[in-house]
Structure 1
Amino acid sequence: MVGVKVCLLGFALVVSFGCFTFPATAQTTDPSEVTALQTIKTRLIDQMKHLNNWNKGDPCTSNWTGVLCFDTVGIDGYLHIRELQLLNMNLSGYLAPELGQLSHIQVLDFMWNEITGNIPKEIGNITSLELLLLNGNKISGSLPAEIGYLPNLDRLQVDQNQLSGPIPNSFSNLNRIKHLHLNNNSLSGQIPPELSKLSSLLHLLLDNNNLSGYLPPELSNILDLRILQLDNNHFNESEIPASYKNMSKLVKLSLRNCSLQGAIPDLSSIPHLHYLDLSWNELTGSIPSNKLSDRITTIDLSHNHLNGSIPANFSVLPHLQRLSLENNLLSGSVPSTIWENMTFTSSASLTLDLRNNSLSNILGDLHPPTNVSIRLQGNPVCNNVNKRNMVQFCQSEARGEETLGSLSNMTNICPIHACPFDDFYEYVPASPVPCFCAAPIRIGYRLKSPSFSFFPTYLDLFKDYLADSLYLDHYQISIDSFIWEQGPRLNMYLKLFPTVYNNSHIFNISEIQRIRGLFTTWAFRGSDFFGPYELLNFTLIGPYLNVNFGPQGSMISKRTLALLLFGAITCAIMIPAAIAMLIAKRKFRHHPSLSSKHLSSKISIKIDGVKVFKFKEMVLATDNFNISTQVGQGGYGKVYKGILEDNTVVAIKRAEEGSLQGQKEFLTEIELLSRLHHRNLVSLIGYCVEQGEQMLIYEFMPNGTLRDWLCVKAKERLSFGMRLHIALGSARGILYLHTEANPPIYHRDIKASNILLDSKLNAKVADFGLSRLAPVPDEEGMMPGHISTIVKGTPGYLDPEYLLTHKLTDKSDVYSLGVVFLELLTGMRPISHGKNIVREVNVAYQSGMTHSILDKCMGSYPSKCIEKFVVLALKCCMDKPEARPSMSEVVRKLESILQMLSESDTMLSECTYPNSGISAPPSSLTCVTRDPNLSSNVSGSDLVSGVIPTIRPR
């Protein structure tokens, strides 16, 4: 019998040179279907075992993500997978015991999904496994002891789950393990002293569990250990073992809030120690006087019972960023030599938190550099704050810790709106070619245990680290924003730009695949200082939207992924059926005219209020889709202006090949859209689903998009009153989606170009192509607060929390609408020549210079109204979702601002529209401004002073 090689590429069946994909239907949990698929798999493996002509070679030479290979001519008939990477794909269900049959897998990656259930003990059978990555799910139960017998395991990440029970003693057999991340679970019991046998271990993260017992002194035998993080456990009546001073390669020791007692051991013999946190314990005695490592950045001994004086050894630490000794029993004087002996660069920072002790004086200079922040409240030295200029150190409000920031900047002055592409392109901030415009890859990235407290100091070093690891130039890396989280852990939003030297403004596909592969396979060179990292998301939008990571662009179907999680590993088929499909494939090749686009049926459904159009009607309406009738293009496809037989003017959205949905899914979306009726939503008139086409027919908006009216090229401008009306109309439309649509909807792509204006300049929200249904109550009636979803949308409008966590909420829409409000106020784009509109308006408002960034074409406005509008917009754009108003609050605030205007102010312009009968572009609009209350200009400070003049922008 001749052997036939059958490969499941992304779980799509490939026979010889033909490829057939199983139907991608909805996720199922039907036990009978799962059992049937398992039976098919078993029968196929049995048949393969009885085939002749065995070949002992390895049939799976491909290293692509998600490649399954069967080979009927060798390797004893088992599944061969090198890597199975299903990162951040909204997968639910549980891990199947059959995973243990993937006997050649090296990478098993299910990070950042919604997986429940237990970790199957059968995973312990995969002796080839090197990376087991399950963090960021909802997995419960205990850690299987069988994992401890994986001889090649290099990295085990199960953090941020709901695991309980003890750490198995068998983990001491993981001879090759370098990274053991079990943090943020509910693990209990004693840390096994046997872990000291892990001679290759570099990072041990057990923080945020319920571990108890004592701290094993044997851990000091792990000679290569660099990071030991055990915060927030309960080692009652345990002391810090003196043997820990022998951890000669330790970079970070963090034992915060561990119920530790006794004295602080002498740790001065650890030469590479950068970070020491022993805070929130019950430590007693004095602080050791021996000098710590010159490399130390952070010392936190706060919230203990330490006494004595501040030792002189803190005075010769050149890289110190934070010294926290607050809430102890320290006495004596504060030595100013701590900061006097340091050299500060412009990006350096030092915080000395000495609050709530018994310190009586400061010895030496009382004029520290601006980089130094000293906090002395709650000490006797503050009893007379007028003495020796002590006010600056004893005031109750002092600079807090760095929590969030933005680090991207433009070194070149580039013209506004000169980027020759769309919103997905930006100026490369540090480009050696001035004002070079390119489309970045956007990445959510987190440092899980960094060894510093203040990030800007190490920004260049961090960029060098990334550049070397990714084989990019330093200028190609931009850190757009960052935020410190509990841990402390550092979340950041990276942008990677293509090189400026090959005259290409985008990355090619192979380069994107290479970069993603370096992140997902942990191919970075090690950095103990920056610590272990996590890829939170790898966002591909704009020109990268259709980039796939499977072989030859094949994507793993959602159905197959669901079946894998619910207990079936493969959806194979018997060899005769495969041959039959091969014959069908060859037959299909003889009819090239029957493309996939022209094979779809003419299935349609009757929906009240929605008309079904024929394809030929669309051809006639658009003059055969003549380019002269095209009025726009988006992610869904091209938009045409069409005139129906009854002279109704419509907008026709024609899906492109890559945007086509399944017939059932398309009709389901039509049925959903048909239920949405609001004066501030663009109305769906009908649809066309013929000859492989999918088209949506909407009412035509003669005055185009809001973006058209705010563009510098627009010949006519919107008055302040008009802008308020547009803002309110948009907010009312989105409020309807959130609260009255059935089911509720999150828009997910609110932007100025998705707000259309009718003949009377009423705002109507459009384009639900990226919309997601809002969460529905679970079985217990509880309403989830968010949807976990792949990031989609438009740069500049995206909620930063959504970017970092992939958690989409109603407040994500609020953020995007807030950006639109800022556009209405300033006329700026969300991102222009390297500047972010939210940041720019915030800076102007805080400095009392709001008027300087307002759109000078807006006409006159009452300053109190403009101030309230600015404040509302900025609140909508707060980093944290909980700080933003709800959409109903936004509507109420806008209504109250409009009520503040007099009747003449409410309609600051009387507008005359041409009687064309079809459209009125911005250039055709004639506006006569009525301005009864003009007064002279006022300074920007008046905008926040309570004075309410009416001003004209300068």
Structure 2
Amino acid sequence: MGSRIHVFLLLVSAPILLVVAQTNQDFVALKSLIDVWDNIPPNWVGSDPCGSRWVGIRCTNSRVTAITLASTGLTGTLSGDIGSLSELQTLDLSYNKGLTGPIPASIGNLKKLTNLLLVDSGFSGLIPATIGSLPQLSILSLNSNSFSGSIPRELGNLSNLYWLDLADNKLSGPIPVSNGTTPGLDMLTKTKHFHFGKNQLSGEIPSQLFSSNMTLLHVLFENNSFSGSIPSTLGLVTSLEVLRLDRNSLTGSVPSNLSKLVHVSELYLSNNQLTGSLPNLTGMSVIYLDMSNNTFDASDFPPWFSTLQSLTTLIMENTQLQGQIPVSFFALPQLQTVVLKNNQLNGTLDVGSRYGSQLQLIDLENNMIVDFKPRMGFKINLTLARNPFCQETEGTTNTYCDIRKLPDSKYSTPENNCNPATCSAHKVSSPNCRCAYPYMGFITFRAPSFSDLSNTTIYTSLANFLMQFFQSHQLPVDSVSLSNPTRDTDNYFVLTLEVFPPSDQDGFDQTGVSEIGFVFSNQTFKPPHNFGPYTFLSLSYPFGYFEGITGAKKSSSTAIIIGAAVGGCVLVLLALLAGIYAFRQKRRAEIADKQNNPFASWDRNKNSGDVPQLTGARSFSFEELKKYTNNFSETNDIGTGGYGKVYRGVLPNGHLVAVKRAQRGSMQGGNEFKTEIELLSRVHHKNVVSLVGFCFEQGEQMLVYEYIANGTLKESLSGKTGIKLDWMRRLRIALGTARVADFGLSKLRGDLEKGHVTTQVKGTMGYMDPEYYMTQQLTEKSDVYSYGVVMLELVTARQPIDKGKYIVREVRQRMDKTKVGYNLQEIIDPVILGITLGGLEKFVDLAMRCVVEEGNERPTMGEVVKEIESIMQIAGLNPNSDSASTSASYEGAIKGYDHPYSDDSLFVYSGQYLPSKVEPQ
């Protein structure tokens, strides 16, 4: 009987323990976010984000599948450990201005990600190319940040992408298109939205970008620096509805086949340098047309304008129009605004008696109109200033000669048959006359099909759409208010939006705010069609004013009825499982905490505690290093590399140190950082710079080295430090480095407990074995490859442009060209030209054998040492002499060679190239 109960308990507890293990796997990644974020949700406590229902975290089968934290006030950076959430499908961190820094490349590990939403935050840097490796990605919204650089061509691999919004950043360069096996955006045949406006993109708009296979609805390229002509291939994208090419430097004529875009309702071509005849748009369903400020050929007012029965807005300022405007044009039923100033229109203006009932403004300033006779009841805003008509009537009262525009709308959603409430500071009276804290922001429509902002029906229809949406999605919203409509300088239509909480609450909790933010960042909410594409920019929400507000009401407890016959057994079983669960939860939480902060038991000023095991190095506090470097001042900045910046510091005892401060995107996990400093602390040799200490707190990772003032290898070999190494000294460096360091990358980066080598390799990638990128494993032959690159640096005196591989490639190309050997005159350092080159060719040959593609064809490190010794004998040197000579010139050269302060160094101290055989000083 006892064994049966034992088996039963195992069967029941096994899935529970599996759930705990999976949840804890994701907790470790979320814990890394907690370490670098401030203002996290208050209920992010414990170690079970799924079971505890952390705010913004959605789980499926105990795995984190969504993080939605829009508008929650987060500050900090996006940790690279985000890539560990392998089941994540949605990531929304929009409207958090305090989130800064780059997107980590590890984002490309989220192979199940469908929605990546980082709208209106503080992110910067390059858009990582690894985003192109997300096969399921459907919505990519990175708009309204500070991203720079070019658009990654790898985005063309996103075969399931529906929405691509990169607008309002600092992106530059051309739009990438495919070439052979190289991807480009022309491959995005399922994408409906290209929103690239308000950037610094340049070059021609590639004709290859568009084809009949595309299904684009919106092409928004406004306000960039595009040049060249409008590609005629645009006419092949017959699905297109909105086209904005305005505010660029486009030239040439408008392709005639644009008239085939019969579904285009908003067409913006203004503020370019277009020439030729006006395009004939007969047959199109254009509603909003703006071709102003171009250099078209002079032409009479086109009769086809009168065929555009849906036209609401015609903006043709400064387009060389002449002749008379036909009366039939003003009879278009939907017409609201006509701006035709700065042309050569002439004759008598006649708007007829049947002009459209929605017509609000006719602006004909600076034309050649000689007469106008208004008909009975004419109340349209008309401007004829700077026309002959006004010159002839000068001195008389003629309101049409004033410069007039449509008045700004003062609309604000009215109260619902109630008296506005008098609210205290920070609260706002809702349309239902109740004081509350609304969720506020600006909803910006990038291409609306109307121009009359005085028509209140457009606001009521939008408000109704919003409320219907919130109700159908069961979001806790009482009412919405719209106000302050305006056209901004980008010709966008902007509204202030206020969303009010339910009547029994003063405000939203973080869940409510993030849910509302998500419907905008994710474009889940669809406005009426005439509003066109939009974006939402949120204002910070005042959570602090009503702490303690709960979100949705908790559901009442549900009674659990247990049959009397089995009640006792079930209670015992539940108690036992609860004990097992609690114990394992606590144990895993402790492990997770230790993994994320492996320095918890470390005494800062003594080598006590069980982690890390340091030799002669100490732990510094952030405040200490801040003080020693004068608050990381620019005057103390002595170097910059891919790892971060390096600052000169002065310890209380007067010793100079170099503090290497990791930038957010290059930081490692806690265990990796711990392993690195343990290894570095054991390296003690006269030719290797010493580790003084480290800092791991306040989301920072810093390494503290002894200060070396001799400069880099590159500077040493070029004579900048007064050291001019000849060929023989370089041989001593090569042999000394091989004997002292032996690189040992594969040995020291291994995990003895797990029996494998880590795949999280940091540092200078150009020294990396090419096989690593295929196998993700480092071997002793990987060390040989890395050392071979250094050997080539010794004779070329060049640092790798792309971290090593260009040196290897260049030497190979020289070899291919000569067919019979190396053209040494072109690849070696001019410093050693003219010196007897005894053994130099053999040295280059040995280096090239070290960097062959396949590891099994490379020599061993022992063989390399023997061959260098042989080459030294050829050069007339004694290989058995002290390889670490104490002569002044050689000592200085070595120190310069091992300079750790920038990416020009041999050893970039971030855990990659460390000696496996440490020789004591």
Q: Structure 2 length normalisation: TM-score?
A: 0.50
